[in-house]
A and B are shown apart, each in its own frame.
Chain A
Amino acid sequence: MLYSPEPMHIPDGFLSVLVSILLWVASILVIAYALRRVSRDLDERKIPLMGVLAAAIFAGQMLNFTVAGGTSGHLMGAAIATILLGPWAAILVLTVVVGVQALIFQDGGLLVLGANIFNMGVIGVAVSYMAYQTVLRLSGGRKWGIFAGGFIAAWLSIFIAALAVALQLALSGTSPANLAVPTMGGIHALIGIGEGLITLGALAFIYAVRPDLLSAGKESRGSGVLVWVVGLLIALGLAIASPLASAHPDGLEWVAEQKGFLDAAQGPLYSIIPDYVFPGMSNEALATILAGILGALIVFGAAIAIAYARRSRQQTDQTPEP
Chain B
Amino acid sequence: MHAHFLDPYIQRASPIHRLDPRIKLVLAIAFIFTTALTPPGAWPAYVLLFSMVLAVELLSDLGVGYVLKRAVLALPFVLAAVPVLFTLGGPALVSLPVGRWTLELSQPGLERFLSIALKSWISVQMAIVLASSTSFPDLLVAMRAIRIPRLLVSVFGLMWRYLFVLADETLRLMRARTARSGQSDLPGLKTGGSLLWRARITGGMAGSLFLRGIERSDRIYMAMVSRGYDGEVRSLPLPALRPTHWLVLVCGLGILVLLLLLAYLV
Contact = CB atoms under 8 A, between A and B. Distances in A.
Interface of A: 1-2, 5, 7, 9-14, 17, 20, 31-32, 35, 38-39, 43-45, 47-56, 58-60, 62-68, 73, 75, 80, 84, 92-93, 95-97, 99-100, 102-107, 109-111, 169, 173-176, 179-180, 194, 197-206, 209-210, 213, 263, 265-266, 269-270, 273, 276, 278, 281, 284, 287-288, 290-292, 294-296, 298-299, 301-303, 305-306, 309, 320-321
B99 interface: no
Contacts of B195: 65, 67-68
Contact of B151 (A38, A209, A284): A38
Contact of A204 (B5, B131, B200): B200
22 contacts: A2-B6, A12-B120, A48-B158, A51-B155, A55-B160, A55-B161, A59-B209, A60-B206, A96-B155, A96-B156, A110-B123, A175-B81, A175-B84, A179-B87, A201-B205, A203-B203, A205-B208, A209-B211, A287-B43, A298-B52, A306-B58, A321-B13
Interface string B232-258: 010000000000000000000000000
Nearest to B207: A205
Interface in B79-125: 79-81, 83-84, 87, 112, 116-124
Given A63-B173, A203-B207, A14 B230 contact: no
A110 B127 CA distance: 8
Contact of A55 (B136, B151, B165, B171): B165
Contacts of B14: 306
Given A95-B152, A205-B208, A104 B136 contact: yes
B112 A173 contact: yes
B213 A11 contact: no
Contacts of B71: 106
Contacts of B124: 11-12, 106, 109
Contacts of B163: 55, 58-59, 100
A104 B8 contact: yes
Given A278-B266, A287-B44, 11 more contacts: A7-B76, A13-B35, A13-B116, A51-B161, A52-B159, A106-B128, A175-B84, A200-B200, A200-B203, A206-B210, A266-B264
B47 interface: yes
Interface of B: 3, 5-8, 13-15, 18, 28-29, 32-33, 35-37, 39-40, 43-45, 47-48, 50-52, 54-56, 58-59, 61, 70-71, 73-74, 76-77, 79-81, 83-84, 87, 112, 116-124, 127-128, 130-131, 136, 139, 149, 151-152, 154-163, 165-167, 169-171, 173-174, 192, 195-196, 198-214, 216-218, 220-221, 224, 229-231, 233, 264-266
A49 B214 contact: yes
A201 B202 contact: yes
A52 B217 contact: yes
A179 B203 CA distance: 33
B200 to A, nearest CB: 5
Contact of A201 (B5, B6, B156, B200): B200
B217 A295 contact: no
A105 B206 contact: no
State the 8 A-B residue pairs at the shortest beta-carbon distance, nearest first.
Answer: A201-B203, A51-B158, A295-B51, A205-B207, A44-B231, A320-B13, A13-B120, A291-B44
B162 to A, nearest CB: 4
